[in-house]
Chain A
Amino acid sequence: MACTHDHSCEDHDCSSSWSLYKHIDLSKVTALNEANPGSVKSVFKAWEERLNSSGEHLESNEGDPELLVYIPFTSDVKIKSISVVGGADGTSPSKLRVFINRDGIDFSDAQSMQPVQEWDLVENLQGVLEYQTRYSKFQSVANITLHFPDSFGGDTTQIHYVGFKGEATQLKRDVVATIVYEITPNPSDHKTRAETGGGLSHVE
């Protein structure tokens, strides 16, 4: 097992407590200032894979280590603690500020608003450190925004893994998913069986 901390793991299963990643709505996760659009989704994985750096990781643009990650959950969750694995050579983030249940935050908002909580991070390449939250403030989190303002001197900021420990409730905030209105039909939305090579026709 990938449990590298020094207590015996028989009484609890580390990986199960870091299971909130299953409740993240991955399709709606977005990040600002990422070098490769969409790479942010790769940082939410199981605890065992947190050190697995063979896949993609989240990296900010050259010369600008600021990162903003927006994470919506499929149901309201309670977050007990957060773990962040950064990159080597000073590309780990040095601070973390979080905002709860706020849509559409951009950099100027993030810099001026008071976060719900903020931490000074250390380089956590083995992923053994976790940062505890003020639990009372994190009782019903529908979405969370992570703001990493700076790195440890590196040109960019790299994030390999972000984990949340806590509980998921069954409550959902908004039930309505994407709706497509069709005032006039758009042919590209209605591919026939012939065009898609035998698949079922579907509306996107």
Chain B
Amino acid sequence: MVLEATMICIDNSEWMRNGDYAPSRFQAQADAVNLICGAKTQSNPENTVGVLTMAGKGVRVLVTPTSDLGKILACMHGLEIGGEMNLAAGIQVAQLALKHRQNKKQQQRIIVFAGSPVMHDKKALEMIGKKLKKNSVALDIVNFGEDDGGKTEKLEALLAAVNNNDTSHIVHVPAGPNALSDVLISTPIFTGDGEGGSGFAASAAAAAAGGVSGFEFGVDPNLDPELALALRVSMEEERARQEAAAKQAAEEASKEEKGGEEQDATMTERASEGASEADNKKIEIADDDDTSLQQALAMSMDEPTSSQDLQDTEMSDAAAEDPELALALQLSVQDSTKDSSSQADVSKLLADQSFVSSILASLPGVDPNDPSVKEVLASMQNQSEPQQKQDEDKAPKKEEEK
């Protein structure tokens, strides 16, 4: 129950976007901060905690030491990631904030989350450490995230300079399946200098240990049988549902030869969307002229098998008037010449490299220069080669359109 004023220094630099700590380094850090604030305020009601950010435009104190947990949690919202962490300035500002704490009887402590590389040299950090020790400020360092050569050394040197009778600690958290907060719970940062841990920390540790102990779904059936039963039932239902869905999908694939589409479901959906969007515009242009033509176009996109005759008759009329309409009609004609497969016109579009790359560029997370994507495109092209040979004269026209 040590009476303490704590300043937490958060790293919100660009390196925090990384996802090696689930869900992202920044989120893991925020969870850990929330846990620490809770533990500190619970262990002694007069403890105060403050928060500052070290990166971004500069070191910024979000909340001065306060015992109001709500205020601290609120200030963690809407934090932006960016910039580079300035460790030295962060620690110095934290020391200043602690100096002006309202209750001078509180011990001073700084907790630093060091996720990005440390730019300062060892000497400078040691000077800072000495100054902290002289003013009897304790320092806890959480070393996670980036691990370039020298960072660990520098932080250890800083700790050695600050440490006075084991009041300061450093914790190295490697990336892995365990959450950052879970790892921290068992460290002296939470349990506080070997006092034996507050009730909060102890119960949190027990919960974490329970999850690891190997019970199914992480819930002890003895403690909470209803919850365990509900979890088991829902898990089985989910499994059954997934099996049924997979079965159905397999059936569909064998029926309609849509094996390829299954894999690239998103891509083909987008491609057909794109195509239909493009054609919708053309349909609008022809709106006033020919309603039956519209019908033909619409039907050609949706169901190439039906109303092929309609398309044939219309084609000769419209071809002369509007090249864009002609294009659409060509598509529908190609459909009629091939076996009924909506994949045909889609694959025709896919065969057009430039069209596909423009679609791909708009897809999030797909890089057209990615070798795997290029492979897929190449295979698509090979499939549609015989088609292209048939419609060589139409291909140049298509190029013009684009």
Contact = CB atoms under 8 A, between A and B. Distances in A.
Interface of A: 32-33, 37, 61, 64, 66, 103-104, 106-108, 180-181, 183-184, 186-189, 204
A66 B45 contact: no
Given A37-B165, A64-B134, A106-B99, A181 B42 contact: no
Interface string B81-116: 000000000000000000100001000000000000
Interface string B371-402: 00000000000000000000000000000000
Please provide the 3 A-B residue pairs with the shortest distance between their CB atoms, ordered closest to farther: A104-B104, A33-B134, A103-B104
Given A37-B165, A186-B1, A189-B1, A32 B136 contact: yes
B199 A187 contact: yes
A32 to B, nearest CB: 6
Nearest to A181: B45
Interface string B325-365: 00000000000000000000000000000000000000000
Contacts of B196: 188
Contacts of B99: 106, 108
B46 interface: yes
15 contacts: A32-B135, A33-B134, A37-B165, A61-B134, A64-B130, A106-B99, A107-B134, A180-B1, A181-B46, A183-B45, A184-B42, A186-B1, A186-B43, A188-B195, A204-B1
B27 interface: no
B181 interface: no
B60 interface: no
Interface string B210-227: 000000000000000000
B152 interface: no
Interface in B108-130: 130
A183 B1 CA distance: 13
Contacts of B43: 186
Nearest to A66: B134
Given A32-B135, A184-B42, 8 more contacts: A32-B134, A33-B133, A61-B133, A106-B99, A108-B99, A183-B45, A186-B198, A187-B199
B134 A37 contact: no
Contacts, number: 36
A188 B195 CA distance: 9
B164 interface: yes
Contacts of A106: 99, 135
A159 to B, nearest CB: 16
Which of B46, B104, B134, B199 has the most C-beta atoms of chain A within 10 angstroms of its own C-beta? B134
- Chain A interface main SS type: loop
A172 to B, nearest CB: 18
Contact of A184 (B133, B164, B199): B199
B259 to A, nearest CB: 62
Interface string B187-206: 00000000110110000000
A25 B254 CA distance: 90
A188 B136 CA distance: 26
Contacts of A204: 1
B126 to A, nearest CB: 12
A66 B104 CA distance: 21
Contacts of A184: 42, 199
A132 B390 CA distance: 113
Nearest to A70: B104
A37 B164 contact: yes
Nearest to A189: B1
Contacts of B1: 180, 186, 188-189, 204
A126 to B, nearest CB: 31
A189 B198 CA distance: 11
A204 B2 CA distance: 12
B45 A107 contact: no
Interface string B135-158: 110000000000000000000000
Nearest to A28: B105
Contacts of B164: 37
A103 B196 CA distance: 31
Nearest to A35: B164
A188 B201 CA distance: 13
Nearest to A104: B104
Contacts of B133: 33, 61
B133 to A, nearest CB: 7
A47 to B, nearest CB: 30
B253 to A, nearest CB: 60
A29 B192 CA distance: 23
A103 B100 CA distance: 12
A33 B81 CA distance: 38
A61 B195 CA distance: 26
B166 to A, nearest CB: 11
A37 B1 CA distance: 19
Contacts of A186: 1, 43, 198-199
Contacts of B42: 184
A204 B99 CA distance: 27
Interface in B257-315: none
A188 B197 CA distance: 9
Contacts of A37: 164-165
